[in-house]
Structure 1
Amino acid sequence: MAFPLMKRYFDPWLVRIRNLLKAAQGRPMALVVLFSLSLLNLSSEWPSNMGRPAFVGALDEAVPDSFRTARQLLFDQYQRHFPRIPTAQPVTIVEIDEETLATVGQWPWPRNRLAGLIDAVAALKPLAIGLDIYMPEPDQTSPDKVAANLPETAAALAAALRALPSHEAILARSLRAAPTILGAAALDHATDTASTDLRSAPVLVHGTDPLDSLRRYDYVLASLPELQEAAHGQAMLSVTLEQGVVRHIPLIMGLRDKVVPGLPMEMLRLATGSSAIDVFADGSGVQAVGVADVQVPTQPGGDIWLHFASIRSTLSRYVSARDILKGTVDPQRIRDKLVLVGLTGTGTTDMRTTPLGELVPGIEIQAQVIETIFEGRFLRRPTWLKWAESAFIMAFGLLIIWYVPRTQSRLAVFLRAVPKGSAVLGVSLHLLNVLFCFFIFVRLGLLVDAASIFIILSAVMGCFFAPALLRGDDPIKTQARDAQGREDENDRTGKAPGP
């Protein structure tokens, strides 16, 4: 009983929709679909060099995930089929792994023990040492902290402990003696240990102030001021997550009204002996970030699309901190290298998912950024590329709208003559689209959005087949029947055949 009632209710609506799609051979509806989907596609990635109209922002909020997910998944597939193959290894990761924790002790270590690891690494003459470690609170195992917890009966012992240097003082001495950089984490909210400033190297801006284009934060989780003052640099370690996957890596960020560097650029600054980091920006945002004679082209937000290498190809860069402390590491693995020190032991580190579908330690991502800069192999999606895609979609879509309904065209004759010709032609064209975009990715490192091209043009083509599909007919037979009907009508009325 329910099904006939539903059919009786929906049938009139299907007829109206079918008649609407058939009006003027489907061209008006196809035009609406082409323009609306093109606008929706643009709103999901509106170029930063143009003011964003209010209605575009409202459209993106109303349909927030319209084309973005398809675009991201496509770009991930580009990388999975063509991952970066490392040609250089400028970075060594000294990992505080499970073997180290089993030998030295659980994390967090007393600061004097961490100082010993830094001294051991520094003795092997690296170019720079970056610590993926935050130390915003005092070490509670420091002698003065232990003394404060002793009973009054142990006054002599407490006095002796207070006479010893604190663990912060020992670590600060090691940080000052080695080319060290402390990492910090960006925060959007205040915490008991967060601050609003970071002691960082100068950033020289060439051109327009880039702050409005950058990802900005109000707070930072940084190490104690005593340790910041001793280290030779401070840097942000934050990465951008999109649905849990790291695709973009910011080279610079905003901390309130200040531009601060990410760890890769600060490592290069210290290694080259430069006093500042250069930022090149214009009205469309950040164009490049540089240090010394190296310039890295960026997205307008000061970030880069990272071309990932598989973790299987980078395992040789890892050195256990236990072996460093024992003195059993080949010195050539550290000498003149950029060394990153971080946690990789189970349960002690944040793990990140890459576009390759691999789960890697956060410090591996920082290493891959430095490695990519050394190799000069960057992925790019410049603003002009989005406009070029939109122009292609509009031009090809209009061509479809003009040509496909023409019943006497070669395409129409072909579709009537060849069974399933429309399916074969559609699949072939879309396959050619994907292969061409992938070829551009491999040869030029450009990220062309073949997904949006496929979705929009398929929707436009669907406008001409939808009336037949709503009736349950074969679209090709329907087109032939409609064409024959129009020819018969023209014969009766004496009119010339129309398009």
Structure 2
Amino acid sequence: MLRRLFSKHGTRWTLGLVLTVLACAQTLGMFPATLTDRIDLFFYDMRIRVQPAAPDPRIVIVDIDDKSIAEVGRWPWSRNVIADFVTKLADHYHARTIAFDVLFSEADTSSGYGVLEGLAKGELKEFAAFGERLKTLKASLDYDGRLAAALHERPVVLSYFLSNRAHKGLLPAPAFTASELNGNALDVLPWKGYEGALPALQRTAKAGGYMNTEIDPDGLLRSIPLVAQIDNSYYESLALATARVALGATAIRPVFLSDDVRSDQAQREYGVLESLRLNTLPRQTVIPVEREIKALIQYRGRGGPDGGTFRYIAAADVLKGRVPLQDLENKIVLVGTTAAGLKDLRATPVNSEYPGVEAHANMVASILDGDFKQRPDFAAAIDLLQVIALGVTLTVALSLLTPVWSILFSLTMAAAIGAFNFWMYQAHDMVLPVANALLLIAGLFVVNIAWGYLFEHRKGRAMVNLFGEYVAPELVAEMAANPNSYSMEGESRELTVLFADVRGFTTISEGLDPNTLREYINIYLTAMSENIRGNRGTLDKYIGDAVMAFWGAPVTLPDHAARAVATALQMQATAASLNRDFLARGWPALRIGIGLNTGEMRVGDMGSKIRRAYTVMGDAVNLSSRLEGITKVYGVGITVGEGTMRAAPDFAYRELDRVKVKGKNEPVPIFEPIALKTQLDAGVRDNLEKWHEALALIRAQRWDEAESRVRALHDSAPDDGLYLLYLERIAHYREHPPGTDWDGVTTFETK
């Protein structure tokens, strides 16, 4: 069975295997993954977009917006204003944490203190009172100093920017150093430089974090690296630093995969970073990370003041004390900008103009909740397994299914993969690849459809071309729809075969000129062929004026014998109609004899290397040919064998004789079909009964009784040659008795 299936579907299976292997290679990273990456990102973005906005009252964004610029003045504001701003948030509103998504890397000279100090040392040097007074004003005019004092002992996180240029400003203390990794190496992109806050400001701030984010190749912001490397030290992002300060943690520890996750022994660690852990109480805060210590941003809305996730408060309202205390009390405050000309906007999956400060706010919320979507290290293994399973299943299934079922099965598989992927995303927070699996499903489906169209269609057309001359159009259409069920290979089947011949054709051909003879025979053969094909018969060949046909192949017909008998009766009726037309034209009369037989015979493509044909062979075929030849002996138009009579019991038959034809040693009964039993009138039925009674008397050698019965039938139908034949036989047997061992069989020595 497997051998038959492979011979039938081997090419499809080979193509399916090739596609599956290519998909596996793609999964293992052996080919560029631009297309699959984009498809995976598309489905990831779709999931993010359909995620409903989830308001988070713990985090507030204080916005340096157009209103605040108009009220306070152009940006950057002087550091004494920022100092008042910090003091107001920390002391009046009791903010839990204050994080600035703005950079304080340049000294503030807006107070004019530097100019005054230059005058005190230059042109006004002689005025000692001026110098002394200036010293008393220094504290109030040193705006950077005022801001540094405001930052002292307050939960403020400053920001800085990583770059590969020269160092500027001051970095905060590192989260950890290479010496704390116990020899393990972190998969993180190193940086060479930075632009940090003024040293005086960073020294007094609670913490600092870099503002850098990670832009994907398509230009969208989907993740943030939580840790970056400069030299041998590792620094935290703005979101991580903000969350750590808000949670009261003082240290960050990298945790590596080990054979025992409960063990902290360095020698048992394998060097693959599993997570970052904050030393919070009562239990540590675990932050799972991906490669390059990234974390996916869980966007909880479309962003901005109307995004529905974080509340936006104008910075001017904070400075003026117009914000209700409860709106900021114990909140995590991120200070950012949306004013025209200052907008820190990023393209994201949910919005092409998304405030950068809100991207950090979403990451802070994920750290607080422990809510992260991850692309696990074993995602490629899952992808490989589902590709292999899909490849094998679809390769076999699609080759066996019809086009409609192939479409439904492919869609079902795609839906199953999508459902599994979404379930892993929702229930287990895993972002798994799906592109390879979907592309494989599409590829296998297209290959099978293309195969069906390009090859099966050609095979169907070949079937049409092959059998179109032999069988009826409706049979050809049926075969073309399912060409694999039919072939030219030889096989044994029970079929019914027909031979039809024109009586006295030699005399007819001698009496007509060639052109008229051609028209005569063409009209006859066309009419006979239409009768055969109209009853789903297979036209085998023309043998001069003779026609050969059979029923039951290549399309299986359970009622092949009945169709053949009905065709023979129709052909005789058609011949009678043609005869009237021919006589009207002055042509010779047309009479035909038909022989039918049913039995096992060999059917298929037979012949020589030079010429072959789809035909039948065997004893049953030869007997049919002999039966056609002896129709003229019995004066009937149709003769059928016993096999046909038994296989088509709905017809009424007249038994003609028991004969031994040339080449056969066993006698066979032969019959003449009359009509369907339901169409017999009472007179015909009565004559049939009388004839069979007379035939029984003949075989019993009761000549007188037999002659009386046959003569009465002959008188009622003087043109019936069968009755005249048997009257002659009775007379012969009277003079030459056949003997007591006579079996009633007539032997024919010629064809």
Normalized against structure 1, the TM-score is what? 0.78
1:388 pairs, out of 382, 389, 394, with 382
Instruction: Report the CA distance shift for 1:478/1:85 in structure 2 as closer, same or farther (over 3 A).
Output: farther
Indicate which of 275, 279, 282 corresponds to 1:288.
275
SS of the counterpart of 1:301?
A: helix
Question: Which deviates further from its counterpart, 210-219 or 132-141?
Answer: 210-219
Determine the structure 1 residue equivalent to 2:100: 131
1:426 deviates by: 2.4
**1:68, CA displacement in angstroms?**
0.9
Could you tell me whether the CA contact under 8 Å between 1:82 and 1:442 is conserved in 2?
no
Query: In the alignment, what sits opposite 1:302?
Result: 293
- The answer as to 2:19 corresponding to 1:33 is yes
Separation of aligned partners in 2, 1:173 and 1:478: 93
Larger radius of gyration: 2
Any idea what SS the aligned residue of 2:487 has? helix
**Aligned twin of 1:100:** 68
Partner of 1:121: 89
Query: CA 1:276 to 1:422, structure 2 compared with 1: closer, same or farther past 3 Å?
Result: same
Counterparts of 1:1-400 in structure 2, within 5 Å, are: 24-43=10-29, 56=30, 59=31, 63=32, 65-83=34-52, 85-86=54-55, 88-123=56-91, 124-147=93-116, 159=131, 164-165=138-139, 166-187=142-163, 189-191=164-166, 194=168, 198-203=171-176, 211-242=185-216, 243-282=218-257, 283=270, 285-291=272-278, 292=280, 293-310=284-301, 311=303, 312=306, 314=308, 317-357=311-351, 359-400=353-394
Report if aligned partners of 1:150, 1:158 keep a CA contact under 8 Å in 2. no
Residue 425 of structure 1 is aligned with which of 409, 426, 444? 409
Q: After alignment, is 431-440 or 131-140 more displaced? A: 431-440
Query: Could you tell me how far apart the structure 2 residues matched to 1:158 and 1:453 are?
Result: 80
Residues 35/323 of structure 1: CA separation in 2 closer, same or farther (3 Å cut): same
CA shift, 1:487, in A, is 5.0
Shift of 1:222: 0.8
TM-superposed CA distance for 1:350, in Å, is 1.6
Question: 1:178 & 1:401 partners in 2: Cα distance?
Answer: 66
Instruction: Describe the superposition over 1:15-35 as per-residue Cα deviations: whole angstroms up to 9, x where unpaired.
Output: xxxxxxx99413333323222
Q: More deviation in 296-305 or 218-227?
A: 296-305
Whichever residue aligns with residue 117 of structure 1, its letter is: F
In the aligned structure 1, how far is the partner of 2:484 from the partner of 2:422? Answer: 44
Q: Secondary structure at the match of 1:452?
A: helix
**Which amino acid is the alignment partner of residue 301 of structure 1?**
E
Consecutive unaligned residues in structure 2, runs of 5 or more:
1-7, 258-269, 464-478, 493-601, 603-751
Contact 2:79/2:143, CA 8 A, preserved across alignment: yes
Q: Measure how far apart 1:398 and its partner are.
A: 2.2
CA deviation string 1:247-277 (max 9, x = no partner): 1122222223211111222223323433211
Q: 2:438 aligns to what SS in structure 1?
A: helix
Residues of 2 paired with 1:204 and 1:332: CA distance?
40
Number of residue pairs aligned between Structure 1 and Structure 2:
442
Measure the CA separation in 2 of the matches of 1:229 and 1:491. Answer: 96
Give the Cα separation in 2 of the matches to 1:221 and 1:133. 12
C-alpha spacing 1:83/1:446, structure 2 compared with 1 (3 Å): farther
SS in 2 for 1:139: coil
Q: Deviations for 1:224-251, whole angstroms, at most 9, x for unmatched residues?
A: 1121111111112211111221211222
| Residue type at the aligned position of 2:348 | T
Contact 2:40 2:435 in 1 (8 A): yes
Equivalent residue for 2:444, pick from 453, 460, 465: 460
Identity of aligned residues (%): 21
When residues 137 and 446 of structure 1 are mapped into structure 2, their CA distance, relative to the original with a 3 A threshold, is same
Contact 1:202 1:277 in 2 (8 A): yes
Is the partner of 1:70 in helix, strand or coil?
Answer: helix
Distance 1:102 1:315 in 2: 26
My pick for the range that moved more, 276-285 or 341-350, is 276-285
| Matches of 1:146 and 1:351, distance apart in 2 | 37
- SS of equivalent to 1:286: strand
Higher relative contact order (CA 8 A, sep 6+): 1
Shift of 1:284: 6.1
Instruction: Report if aligned partners of 1:389, 1:453 keep a CA contact under 8 Å in 2.
Output: yes
Structure 1 unmatched ranges of 5 or more: 1-21, 44-55, 406-410, 495-499
Amino acid at match of 2:437: I
Q: Is the 8 A contact 1:286 1:301 kept in 2?
A: no
User: Aligned equivalents of 2:51 and 2:460: distance in 1?
Assistant: 39
| Worse overlay, 369-378 or 483-492 | 483-492
2:605 matched to which residue of 1? none
CA distance in 2, matches of 1:389, 1:318: 42
Counterparts of 2:98 and 2:229 in 1: how far apart (Å)?
Answer: 23
Q: Distance in 1 between matches of 2:377 and 2:343?
A: 36
Cα offset for 1:138?
Answer: 1.7
Distance in 2, matches of 1:345 and 1:210, equals: 45
Task: Please name the residue that 1:484 is paired with.
Answer: 483
**Separation in structure 2 between the aligned mates of residue 273 and residue 295 of structure 1, nearest angstrom:** 14
Could you tell me whether the CA contact under 8 Å between 1:186 and 1:221 is conserved in 2? yes
Note the C-alpha offset of 1:178.
Answer: 1.7
Flag the 1:395–1:475 CA change in 2: closer, same or farther, 3 A.
farther
Distance in 1 between residues matched to 2:461 and 2:240, nearest whole Å: 63
Q: Is the 8 A contact 1:202 1:275 kept in 2?
A: no
- State the SS of the aligned residue for 1:126: coil
1:379-428: per-residue Cα shift (whole Å, max 9, x none)? Answer: 122112321121111122023334433xxxxx43xx1xxx6443333233
Aligned with 2:62: secondary structure?
strand
In 2, the alpha carbon distance for the partners of 1:149 and 1:269 equals 43
On the 8 A contact 1:95/1:319 being kept in 2, the answer is: yes
